[in-house]
């Protein structure tokens, strides 16, 4: 990597300093992107030709190539955007990158003729006549139907003068010069991240329809779409972290480690908002953050900017969030999950029929019965009911818990479960002081299930970079689902809006809960 030359800005005329400083920042960013690109290419080559590559099955190799190709495509388009900003006045649109291969002639063609706004010669000579046209073809996907969109742009010229040619401008596409329409991109994303179909399987399905598209082509499309959708997901995360209360949970995301010829354990952390049980006005949403490990510092990083109540399970990695030394905000108040407490006792009861565990389950069921009665009412009404009905039950459970702990060895299986509940007792009582807090973490656990299903079908992500793209696209798809928005229609409309230059200042319009399907 070439080092950025050190320039003393004080020696440059004041009028030019801002421009030079901006160019230096852009160069440094481009060098970082190039370094990342070289690193990804090296990993791709290692997965293909490395000594351990023979240990990988065909499916494992396909997944590695998929996610590395997605990452490389994202880096490439990021590099193009930065380069364009470096010289916006003289930069020209890069030439179209054609996908290798042809669209089959057997696919139906739908012609969209785009006429100029006016056919009157600018010289005033009269109406122009057609002298030719430009044609471009892109692959479009309608569910259960493949077709080709043929864009026709007639050219018109004046019969009298020689400089009166007019033609409608070409429509904007997310991937300029590429085969896919925005609907096709949406279909591939939904198939991979909602229907749990890896790209190489999608390629096989398309081949049966007579369309030869290698999974590397599909990966290139996904990488570019993931790049363009990143600002929307970042904005979604910002909205969630402005909330007073959120849920958080994490689940394993096995990731292929090509250099070692086997998988490693990554994690997807789900940060969710769902205020529907108490009639909150903020729409529900979820963002999945990928991290290569489960260390609590990852949660601390993801939660920068959030200072509300966090509903979590008993994982000790979250403990750092409650300390004065927490980075990125004030100490967070946590609410622990009664479902996890119940689960601990249920494990013992199912194993040996412990009567003590059975009594604990009965007492927890009484607390849950109150929650069933107050679901859907306002926070103030929930709080009042909890203070009147639930608080005595919780206090009695606490007295019972301590009495049992004095009788039972802490090293026994039941003793360990009771100690778990004791260690999280403060957080288990948080719901008694705030009507917006739930009794358990089940809301976010339900949002983890689609990730687990994708993991089951795809086995694992092909690379850490694939885990990041997985989390990004899943964030939009799952937020669509919990807002009763159809993911394909949303992604098609959103990608189309981005292709047409949707302004950054109006990113909120592209959030799933603001989507309004066309009639």
Instruction: Say if residue 97's pLDDT is above 60.
Output: no
> For the purposes of burial, counting CB atoms within 10 Å of the CB of 480, is it exposed (0-12), middle (13-18) or buried (19 or more)?
buried
Statement to judge: residues 245 and 357 lie in one domain: yes
Statement to judge: residues 308 and 377 lie in one domain: yes
Instruction: Say if residue 82's pLDDT is above 90.
Output: no
Residue 130, domain extent: 100-173
Compute the mean pLDDT over every residue in the chain, rounded to the nearest whole number: 85
Instruction: Say if residue 512's pLDDT is above 60.
Output: yes
CA distance 133 to 156: 9
Confidence (pLDDT) at 93:
52
SS3 letters across 309-367: EEECCCCHHHHHHHCCCCCCCCCCEEECCHHHHHHHHHHHHHHHCCHHHHHHHHHHHHH
Average pLDDT over residues 171-177: 87
Of 121, 138, 173, the one marking the end of a domain is 173
Residue 472 confidence class, pLDDT cut points 50, 70, 90: very high
In a domain, 355, yes or no: yes
Statement to judge: residues 121 and 243 lie in one domain: no
In a domain, 325, yes or no: yes
Confidence (pLDDT) at 267:
87
Instruction: Say if residue 265's pLDDT is above 70.
Output: yes
Of 147, 173, 199, the one marking the end of a domain is 173
Average pLDDT over residues 16-32: 76
Confidence (pLDDT) at 315:
86
Residue 58 confidence class, pLDDT cut points 50, 70, 90: low
Instruction: Say if residue 362's pLDDT is above 90.
Output: yes
Confidence (pLDDT) at 1:
47
Mention every residue, 6+ apart, whose C-beta is less than 8 A from residue 131: 155, 156, 157, 165
Quote the number of domains for the chain. 3
> Which of 12-26, 56-70, 247-261 is least confident?
56-70
In a domain, 490, yes or no: no
Instruction: Say if residue 86's pLDDT is above 90.
Output: no
Instruction: Say if residue 262's pLDDT is above 90.
Output: no
> For the purposes of burial, counting CB atoms within 10 Å of the CB of 88, is it exposed (0-12), middle (13-18) or buried (19 or more)?
exposed
Statement to judge: residues 60 and 144 lie in one domain: no
In a domain, 438, yes or no: yes
Confidence (pLDDT) at 459:
44
Confidence (pLDDT) at 432:
97
> What's 194's DSSP letter?
T
Task: Name which residue leads in pLDDT, 2 or 56.
Answer: 56
147 three-state secondary structure: strand
């Amino acid at each position: 990597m070439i080092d950025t030359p050190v320039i003393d800005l004080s020696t440059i005329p004041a009028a030019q300093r801002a421009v030079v400083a901006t160019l230096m920042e852009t160069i440094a960013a481009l060098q970082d992107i190039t370094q990342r690109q070289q690193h990804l290419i090296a990993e791709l080559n290692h997965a293909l030709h490395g000594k351990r590559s023979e240990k990988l099955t065909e499916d494992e190799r396909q997944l590695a190539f998929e996610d590395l190709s997605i990452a490389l495509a994202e880096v490439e388009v990021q590099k193009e955007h930065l380069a364009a900003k470096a010289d916006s006045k003289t930069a020209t649109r890069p030439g179209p990158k054609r996908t290798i291969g042809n669209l089959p002639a057997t696919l139906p063609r739908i012609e969209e003729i785009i006429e100029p706004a006016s056919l009157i010669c600018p010289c005033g000579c009269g109406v122009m006549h057609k002298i030719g046209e430009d044609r471009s073809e892109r692959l479009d996907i309608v569910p259960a139907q493949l077709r080709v969109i043929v864009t026709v742009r007639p050219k018109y010229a004046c019969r009298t003068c020689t400089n009166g040619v007019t033609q409608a401008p070409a429509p904007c596409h997310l991937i300029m010069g590429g085969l896919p329409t925005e609907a096709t991109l949406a279909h591939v994303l939904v198939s991979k991240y909602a229907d749990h179909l890896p790209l190489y399987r999608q390629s096989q399905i398309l081949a049966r329809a007579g369309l030869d598209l290698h999974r590397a082509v599909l990966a290139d499309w996904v990488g570019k779409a993931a790049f363009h959708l990143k600002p929307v997901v970042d904005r979604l995360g910002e909205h969630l972290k402005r909330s007073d209360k959120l849920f958080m949970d994490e689940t394993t995301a096995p990731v292929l480690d090509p250099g070692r010829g086997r998988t490693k354990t990554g994690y997807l952390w789900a940060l969710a908002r769902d205020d529907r049980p108490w009639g909150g006005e903020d729409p529900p949403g979820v963002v999945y953050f990928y991290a290569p490990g489960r260390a609590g510092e990852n949660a601390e990083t993801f939660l920068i900017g959030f200072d509300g109540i966090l509903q979590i399970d008993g994982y000790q990695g979250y403990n750092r969030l409650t300390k004065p030394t927490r980075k990125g905000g004030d100490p967070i108040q946590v609410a622990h999950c009664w479902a996890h407490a119940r689960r601990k006792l249920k494990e013992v009861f199912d194993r040996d029929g412990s009567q003590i565990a059975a009594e604990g389950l009965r007492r927890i069921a009484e607390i849950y019965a109150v929650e069933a009665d107050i679901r859907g009412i306002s926070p103030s009404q929930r709080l009042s009911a909890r203070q009147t009905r639930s608080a005595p039950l919780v206090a009695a459970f606490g007295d019972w818990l301590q009495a049992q702990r004095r009788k039972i060895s802490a090293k026994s299986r039941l003793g360990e479960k009771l100690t778990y509940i004791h260690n999280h007792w403060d957080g288990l009582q948080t719901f008694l002081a705030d009507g917006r807090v739930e009794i358990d973490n089940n809301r976010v656990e339900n949002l983890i299930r689609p990730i687990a299903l994708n993991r089951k079908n795809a086995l694992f992500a092909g690379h850490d970079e694939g885990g990041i793209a997985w989390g990004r696209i899943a964030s939009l798809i799952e937020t669509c689902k919990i807002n009763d928005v159809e993911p394909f229609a949303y992604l098609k409309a959103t990608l189309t809006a981005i292709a047409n230059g949707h302004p950054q200042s109006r990113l909120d319009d592209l959030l799933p809960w603001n989507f309004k399907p066309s009639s």
